[in-house]
A = this chain, B = another copy of it.
Amino acid sequence: MKIVSLLFLCIMSQITFGQELFSPSKKVAVRFELTSSGEPIYSVLYEGKEVIKPSKLGILLKDGTRLSKDFNTIDSQIKAVDETWSPVLGEQSNIRNQYNEKSFFLVQKGSNKKLTIVFRAYNEGVAFRYEFPFEKQVDYFVISDELTQFKLTGDHKTFWIPGDYDSQEYPYMETLFSEIDNNKVVMDNGIALKSIKSRFRVQSPLMMKSTKGVYLNIFEAAVVNYPVMHLDVDTSDFTLVSNLTPNAIGDKAYLRTPSVTPWRTIMVSRDARDIVASKLIYNLNEPNRIEDVSWIKPMKYVGIWWEMHVGKSTWDYAGSQNAQNAQNQDLIPSGKHGATTENTKRYIDFAATHGFDGVLVEGWNVGWEDWFGNWKEDVFDFLTPYPDFDLDEVTKYAQSKGVKMIMHHETSGSVGNYERHLDRAMDLMKKHQYPAVKTGYVGRIIPRGEYHDGQAMVNHFNFVAQRMADNKLLLNSHESTRPTGYSRTYPNFFASEAARGNEFNAWSNGNPPMHETILPFTRLLGGAMDYTPGIFEIKMSIYDASKKEQVQTTLAKQLALYVTMYSPLQMAADLPENYERYLDAFQFIKDVPLDWQESRYLEAEPGDYITVVRKDKNSENWFLGAITDEHSRTTDIQLDFLTPGKKYKATIYRDGKKAHWKENPKSYEIQSLTVSHKTKLKLKLANGGGTAISFELLNN
């Protein structure tokens, strides 16, 4: 039976038509073909060898139309682009966008329906998307499925997390492709809401490495008015197929002509640094739409947040997190509420003393007694402070200290409720001069039946970014869909969480040491992450002797994350009183910039290590971050990125000799020395450790 159908397939798939498109470097190529039955098929080549085998393309419409066969190519069009643009905030001042493009204009026999497939060949990979040209007879249409395949050439090493429609907050699994299986994932992982509908479904970006040392990354760019793509895994023949997040009634996307899908991207290189440094995802997004960007600035902040995670204080005023207490009796303060005026002033003082831009306060508004887990619609009004949080006084105090307040809008997943209040909530921010907001979406989505990754939610997150831009407000969203470069278009959407952040270390099985060596190859490709590094009191036993949780890190690694984990929004997440005890190490967090002229990845291996240097956008100073996984690591770094002939004061923050993420995490050393571009430095990273270095240009 199987042989017969395979034979049949071979006959049907006899290739009648071939096309090839090369990257500017000629190293990467994509080949597009129509089979004899008019099926669109593509493959990707790297250095002349297939890295994606002939894979099917197509779209299934709700009206039954299968836009996956019976096509003729009526025309094609080639374009070569080489342009450079400047992000408002970023890892580098200028980004080169260089690619060759070929569009295939297809028409379906019989139905006469049109479909355009556009390929772009970049030096670091291939992107393609479907375009639905303007057609009188197909105006509005509904996508039931996208049939895009990615047929791999072998059993690659794969860094994956389950294809969960509601959460990306998983630690990464590192297995062979053939071993992917959601049943292997430890589900006691602190994630409260999980929506895994298939055992063999993973998320993108999916980072892989072939046995021959070729790195592959499958992702998407410019997810706008379309659901997030997950990937169905066929472990038997190394094939991935797109799985679009459905809505409440099982539809995938509501579109009309003309429109386009997001770009499907396949990055490929023999050098892992090409992947981690790639700006492909941004390049595939639409240019900045905000005219006046003078108000879009990086923010380094502290906040009333970690103290709730470690159990020192609570988000809610009544301290019980009990719905019924709030409903049936007056709020009785427990005395453990974090967001008090007094405590906020303490953080403002700390921020002012150490030159931080902002202070985040979570739990300032009523509703936290019953905010989670009940699919409740009217959770927060985003307007009413708790009785012990005086908005006017906090505003006045922050202004007197030159510190900016960061608003917090937890929606609890009740999106309709948030949208209903959004204008008023922004008015409150403007009245009290909060320049930025952190949003949260912990919980099942309302409208009920929607997922975090569905088209409606993608549109919601983008809508909020647009409305915030209209009001000159900065947006940092947590529990949102993972970004796919939209911050190019709306640079005020300057960070998001959308992955497993540092917080999980406070109260769950946490993030293994390799976690932060994978994120730059996955989550960070689409946009900056508010990872909230900087935890100095690493073991939670300091708060409660019975606690076994800890950040799986050394202290020096926490510093290095400010460089390895690019974001224009960075929190110093630990408590002020903890920083007070390690002010020498804290100096690096104070010094490190958040916006860069240039970035160079010196070393990178997903799951193992990353070393990156970045040059401050506003000075001649450089900063280095190096991290490793659970293994210790020694490496020699040539400082040839420094300007020849100049001298720099290097301040090195490194693991102590006996440091170890588990046994001895807080051991660190600080050393200063004068260096030049000729200097070679030996970095010694402890197990789960890191090194951070600032290079300050000396006036010779």
Listed in ascending order, the chain A residues whose CB lies under 8 Å from chain B are: 134, 136, 139-140, 247-249, 251, 254, 256, 323-324, 327-328, 374-377, 416, 419-420, 422-424, 447-450, 456, 459, 463
A248 with B449: CB separation less than 8 A:
yes
Nearest CB on B from A641, distance (A): 47
A448 with B249: CB separation less than 8 A:
yes
Q: State whether A324 and B448 are in contact (beta carbons under 8 Å apart), knowing that A140-B374, A377-B254, A419-B420 are contacts in the complex.
A: no
Chain B residue contacts of A448, Cβ below 8 A: 247-249, 251, 254, 456
Q: Tell me the bound Cα distance from A376 to B247 in angstroms.
A: 15
A134 with B248: CB separation less than 8 A:
no
Q: State whether A324 and B416 are in contact (beta carbons under 8 Å apart), knowing that A449-B248, A450-B447 are contacts in the complex.
A: no
- Give the top 9 A-B pairs by smallest Cβ distance, nearest first: A447-B447, A248-B248, A423-B423, A249-B449, A248-B449, A140-B374, A419-B420, A419-B419, A139-B323
Nearest CB on B from A418, distance (A): 10
Q: State whether A139 and B324 are in contact (beta carbons under 8 Å apart), knowing that A416-B419, A419-B416 are contacts in the complex.
A: yes
Chain B residue contacts of A139, Cβ below 8 A: 323-324, 374
- Beyond A140-B375, A420-B463, A423-B423, 5 additional pairs, beta carbon < 8 A: A139-B324, A140-B374, A256-B327, A256-B374, A416-B456
Nearest CB on B from A212, distance (A): 46
Chain B residue contacts of A328, Cβ below 8 A: 134
Chain B residue contacts of A459, Cβ below 8 A: 377
Q: Tell me the bound Cα distance from A459 to B251 in angstroms.
A: 25
12 contacts between A and B (CB under 8 A): A134-B324, A139-B324, A139-B374, A140-B374, A140-B375, A254-B448, A256-B327, A416-B416, A416-B447, A423-B424, A447-B450, A448-B456
Chain B residue contacts of A136, Cβ below 8 A: 324
Nearest CB on B from A468, distance (A): 13
Chain B residue contacts of A376, Cβ below 8 A: 140, 256
The contact of A254 among B251, B375, B456, B463, by CB within 8 Å, is: B375
Q: Tell me the bound Cα distance from A251 to B449 in angstroms.
A: 10
Nearest CB on B from A256, distance (A): 7
Q: State whether A456 and B447 are in contact (beta carbons under 8 Å apart), knowing that A256-B374, A376-B140 are contacts in the complex.
A: yes
Chain B residue contacts of A420, Cβ below 8 A: 419-420, 422, 463
Chain B residue contacts of A140, Cβ below 8 A: 323, 374-376
B254 with A447: CB separation less than 8 A:
no
- CB-nearest residue of chain B relative to A323? B139
Chain B residue contacts of A456, Cβ below 8 A: 416, 447-448
